[in-house]
Amino acid sequence: MAEKIKVLFVCKYNSCRTQMAEAFLKKYGADRFEAESAGLETGDLNPYAIAVMESKGLDISHNKSKTVFELFKEGRYYDYVISVCSYDDSECPVFPGRTIRKNWNLPDPASFDGTDDEILEKTALLCSDIEHLVLEFIATANPAGEIFAESTQRFRKMPRLKVLFLCTGNSCRSQMAEGWARFLKNNQIEAYSAGIRAQGLNPNAVKVMAEAGVDISRQTSKTLDALSGITFDYVVTVCGHAHGSCPVFPGGVRVLHVPFDDPPHLAADAKTEEEALSHYRRVRDKIKEFVLKMPENLTER
């Protein structure tokens, strides 16, 4: 028997559109497809979606909302990842293997207003749209053919940009930046990090990145000498000392200074571990915001 096509439906909260899409694909395509759904965050299942799906003979009331990062950490792979909303697709992690990404960009049921009956009617129309999209997808899905077409296009595209994140000790900020870039932008960016000196991996940086679903525990603290054979497209200094001490790189390397607060310095006077970690989390999230906008923001500075 041929291996089934694995499909993941993604939206922000995994509370309505993705749940309906998963249920319809399981109903109509169970012989060829394995369907799952997830969100960037978890949310409560939409009661109108539950009611509309029940009218279709499908019970989703016992489904659980889950995050895409849980599936990523489990090492799942998918033939298709289909986003059903207008969120920034770059926020979704890059799953291993050859994954085809699609976007259906359906309206957000949380924005529906009116009486209960009016909201239910709008949700029913959304449900019908999703059902039709799923049926069309079943009729046309061809991972091998789409991957071949995508591969021929990639020959015409630029290779991944080599980006180095540089800070003083390569222990915290540059490590988090490398981790986010590998996690979120691996298809566009070949990420590295280094320091003016190597101070070792900061355990709190490892901890807060793990909370966000990114494992940087296997990254190593190193100096530029360890990367001497690599030609970078961009060097991003993430602290003032590294920027002031940054060596002159050969070729057309562009050096950008994008400073972030130093979590160990901010946490020095913290009274509790939780207070200390709050500083690391804030900087972690600021770095993520920057990485999400790469590579476009590299040419804007």
Catalytic residues: 167, 239, 246
Contact of 223 with 261, CB cutoff 8 Å: no
Q: What span, in angstroms and rounded, lies between the C-alpha atoms of 57 and 222?
A: 58
Q: How far apart are the first and last CA of the chain?
A: 53
Distance CA 139, CA 181 (A): 36
* One-letter identity of residue 21: A
Q: Per the omega criterion (within 30 degrees of 0), is the bond before 96 cis?
A: no
- Collapsing DSSP states into helix, strand and coil, what is residue 114? coil
Name the 3-class secondary structure at 216: coil
Q: Counting every residue, how long is the chain?
A: 301
Nearest to 123, CA basis, from 175, 21, 53, 23: 53
Please report the beta strands in the chain, taking only residues with DSSP state E, as ranges in sequence order: 5-11, 33-39, 80-83, 100-103, 161-167, 189-195, 234-237, 254-257
**To which residue do tokens 């509370």 refer?**
15
Q: What is the dihedral of CA 190, 279, 266, 203, to 10 degrees?
A: -60
For residue 157, report the phi and psi dihedrals to the nearest 5 degrees: -95, 160
DSSP assignment, residue 63?
Answer: -
